[in-house]
Structure 1
Amino acid sequence: MLFGLTVFQRDQQISPSIIFNAKTSPPLVYKQWHTITLSFKGPETSELDADNPFLNYRLSVDFKHEKTKYAVRGFYAADGNASETGANKGNIWKVRFTPDHLGTWSYTAVLHHQDSIALEKDFTKGTPVEISNKTGEFIVKGSDKEAPDFRANGRLVASEGYYKFQGTEKFWIKGGTNSPENLLGYVDFDDTYRMQASNREGEASTNNEIHQYTAHLKDWKLGDPSWKNGKGKSLIGAINYLASKGVNSSYFLTMNILGDGKDVWPYVNPDDFSRFDISKLEQWEILFQHMQAKGILLHLVVQETENETMLDHGNTGAMRQLYFRELIARFGHHLALNWNLGEENGPASWSPVGQNDRQRKDMSKFLKENDPYNHPVLLHTHSHDPLRSKILDSILGFKHLDGLSLQQDKRELAPEVVKTWREKAKKTGHDWLITMDEIGLWHTAALPDSEDPNHDTLRRYALWGTLLSGAAGVEWYFGAKHPHNDLNSEDWRERDRLWELTNHATTFFRNHLPFWEMMPEHSLINTPRAYCLRKKGEVYAIYLPELEKPTINLKNVEGVFDITWYNPLKGGALQKGSKGRIQGGHISELGAPVSIKGTSSQQDWVCLVKKTEN
Structure 2
Amino acid sequence: MKKITIKRLLLISAFFASFIFSALIRAEQTSTHVPIWHKLSLTLEGPHTSELATPNPFTDYRLDATFTSPTNRQYTVPGYYAADANTAQTHATAGNKWQVLFSPNELGKWRYTLSFVKGRNIASVPLNTITNEQSAGFFDKQIGEFNVTTATKSSSSKDFKSKGKLEYVNKPYLQFNGSKEYFLKAGANSPEVLLGFSGFDATPTKRNYQAHIKHWQNSDPTWQTINTETDNSSHQSSKGIIGLINYLASLNINAYYFLTMNAYGDGDQVWPWLSKTQTTRYDVSKLAQWDIVFSHMQQKGIMTHFVMSETENESLFEWNESQLKNDFAVSRKIYYRELFARFGYHLATTWNIGEENGWQDPSGDDKQQKANTTKQRKQFADYFQSLTYYPEHIVVHNGPSLDYHIYDKPNDNILGYPAYTGASLQGELKTNTTYGDVLKYRQLTQNNPHPWVITMDEAYIYEYANNVDTWRKSNVWATFMAGGAGIEFYLGGGGDLTEQDLTPYKDYYLAMTNAVAFFQKYVPFTKLTPTPELTKTGWALSDNSAFYLFYFSNASQAQVTLPNACYTLDWFNPRTNNYINGKRFCVNTATSTQLATPPNTPNNDWVYLINLSAK
TM over 0.5: yes
Structure 2 CA distance for partners of 1:258 and 1:613, relative to 1, 3 Å: farther
Q: For 2:556, what is the secondary structure of its paired residue?
A: coil
Q: Does 1:69 align with 2:74?
A: yes
Structure 2 CA distance for partners of 1:465 and 1:55, relative to 1, 3 Å: same
Alignment partner, residue 98 of structure 1: 103
Structure 2 CA distance for partners of 1:149 and 1:386, relative to 1, 3 Å: closer
Q: Does 1:114 align with 2:119?
A: yes
Structure 1 counterpart of 2:418, one-letter code: K
Alignment partner, residue 402 of structure 2: 384
Structure 1 gap segments, 5+ residues each: 1-19, 194-208
Structure-1 separation of matches of 2:352 and 2:46: 34
Q: Deviations over 1:525-581 (max 9, x none)?
A: 252xx11111112211111111225232112x65x4221111111114x2023x334
Structure-2 separation of matches of 1:344 and 1:79: 37
- Choose the corresponding residue for 1:289, options 282, 287, 295: 295
Structure-2 separation of matches of 1:386 and 1:276: 34
Alignment partner, residue 603 of structure 1: 604
Structure-1 separation of matches of 2:359 and 2:310: 11
Once the two structures are superposed, the pairs formed by residues 75-86 of structure 1 within 5 Å of their partners are: 75-86=80-91
- Alpha carbons 2:61, 2:136 under 8 Å: kept: no
Structure 2 counterpart of 1:417, one-letter code: D
The count of aligned residue pairs is 560
Q: Does 1:187 align with 2:187?
A: no
Q: Shift of the alpha carbon at 1:63? A: 0.9
Structure-1 separation of matches of 2:340 and 2:587: 54
- Alpha carbons 2:34, 2:40 under 8 Å: kept: yes
Q: Deviations over 1:433-458 (max 9, x none)?
A: 110111134x23x61xxx33xx1111
Q: Deviations over 1:139-162 (max 9, x none)?
A: 112232253211111111223111
Structure-1 separation of matches of 2:437 and 2:27: 61
Q: For 2:65, what is the secondary structure of its paired residue?
A: strand
- Choose the corresponding residue for 1:433, options 450, 453, 465: 453
Q: Does 1:235 align with 2:241?
A: yes
Q: Shift of the alpha carbon at 1:340? A: 0.6
Alignment partner, residue 364 of structure 1: 381
Once the two structures are superposed, the pairs formed by residues 394-543 of structure 1 within 5 Å of their partners are: 394-409=413-428, 410-426=430-446, 428-441=448-461, 443-444=462-463, 447=465, 451-452=466-467, 455-481=468-494, 485-527=495-537, 530-543=538-551
Once the two structures are superposed, the pairs formed by residues 315-394 of structure 1 within 5 Å of their partners are: 315-349=327-361, 351-352=364-365, 353-382=370-399, 383-385=401-403, 387=405, 391=409, 394=413
RMSD in angstroms over aligned alpha carbons? 2.2
Aligned identity (percent) is 35
Structure-2 separation of matches of 1:40 and 1:132: 10
Going by fraction, where is helix more abundant, 1 or 2?
A: 2
- Alpha carbons 1:436, 1:466 under 8 Å: kept: yes
Q: Shift of the alpha carbon at 1:106? A: 1.4
Alignment partner, residue 206 of structure 1: none
Once the two structures are superposed, the pairs formed by residues 265-276 of structure 1 within 5 Å of their partners are: 265-276=271-282
- Choose the corresponding residue for 2:174, options 160, 163, 166: 163
Structure 2 CA distance for partners of 1:21 and 1:168, relative to 1, 3 Å: same
Alignment partner, residue 597 of structure 2: 592
Structure-1 separation of matches of 2:424 and 2:223: 33
Alignment partner, residue 3 of structure 1: none
Structure 2 CA distance for partners of 1:468 and 1:613, relative to 1, 3 Å: same
Structure 2 counterpart of 1:402, one-letter code: T
Structure-2 separation of matches of 1:602 and 1:278: 57
Structure-1 separation of matches of 2:162 and 2:384: 26
Q: Shift of the alpha carbon at 1:113? A: 2.2
Structure 2 CA distance for partners of 1:422 and 1:115, relative to 1, 3 Å: same
Q: Could you list the runs of 4 or more consecutive aligned residues of structure 1 that deviate by over 6 angstroms after TM superposition?
A: none
Structure 2 CA distance for partners of 1:135 and 1:307, relative to 1, 3 Å: same
Structure 2 counterpart of 1:337, one-letter code: T
Structure-1 separation of matches of 2:415 and 2:317: 25
Q: Deviations over 1:451-494 (max 9, x none)?
A: 33xx111111110011100111000111135xxx1101101112
- Alpha carbons 1:184, 1:254 under 8 Å: kept: yes
Q: For 2:611, what is the secondary structure of its paired residue?
A: strand
Structure 2 CA distance for partners of 1:119 and 1:549, relative to 1, 3 Å: closer
Q: Shift of the alpha carbon at 1:430? A: 2.9
Structure-2 separation of matches of 1:21 and 1:602: 73
Alignment partner, residue 126 of structure 1: 134
TM-score, normalization: structure 2? 0.87
Alignment partner, residue 149 of structure 2: 141
Q: For 2:62, what is the secondary structure of its paired residue?
A: strand
- Alpha carbons 1:411, 1:458 under 8 Å: kept: no
Structure 1 counterpart of 2:540, one-letter code: C
Q: Shift of the alpha carbon at 1:609? A: 0.9
Structure 1 counterpart of 2:606, one-letter code: W
Alignment partner, residue 60 of structure 1: 64
Q: Deviations over 1:576-613 (max 9, x none)?
A: 23x3344577654321223x1xx4x4321111112346
- Alpha carbons 1:549, 1:591 under 8 Å: kept: no
Q: Deviations over 1:392-448 (max 9, x none)?
A: 86211211111111011253011011111222224654311110111134x23x61x
- Higher alpha-carbon deviation: 306-315 or 532-541: 306-315
Structure-2 separation of matches of 1:169 and 1:102: 17
Q: Shift of the alpha carbon at 1:167? A: 6.5
Structure-2 separation of matches of 1:341 and 1:24: 41
Structure 2 CA distance for partners of 1:120 and 1:133, relative to 1, 3 Å: closer
- Alpha carbons 2:26, 2:143 under 8 Å: kept: no
Structure 2 gap segments, 5+ residues each: 1-22, 225-234
Q: For 1:508, what is the secondary structure of its paired residue?
A: helix
The structure whose Rg is larger is: 2
- Higher alpha-carbon deviation: 58-67 or 165-174: 165-174
- Alpha carbons 2:445, 2:452 under 8 Å: kept: yes
- Alpha carbons 2:407, 2:415 under 8 Å: kept: no
Q: Shift of the alpha carbon at 1:180? A: 0.8
- Higher alpha-carbon deviation: 540-549 or 326-335: 540-549
Structure 1 counterpart of 2:473, one-letter code: R
Q: Deviations over 1:197-251 (max 9, x none)?
A: xxxxxxxxxxxx4421000000000111111234421111111110010100000
Q: Does 1:224 align with 2:220?
A: yes
Q: For 2:433, what is the secondary structure of its paired residue?
A: helix
Q: Shift of the alpha carbon at 1:70? A: 0.9
TM-score, normalization: structure 1? 0.87
Structure 2 counterpart of 1:179, one-letter code: S
Q: Shift of the alpha carbon at 1:72? A: 0.8
Structure 1 counterpart of 2:149, one-letter code: K
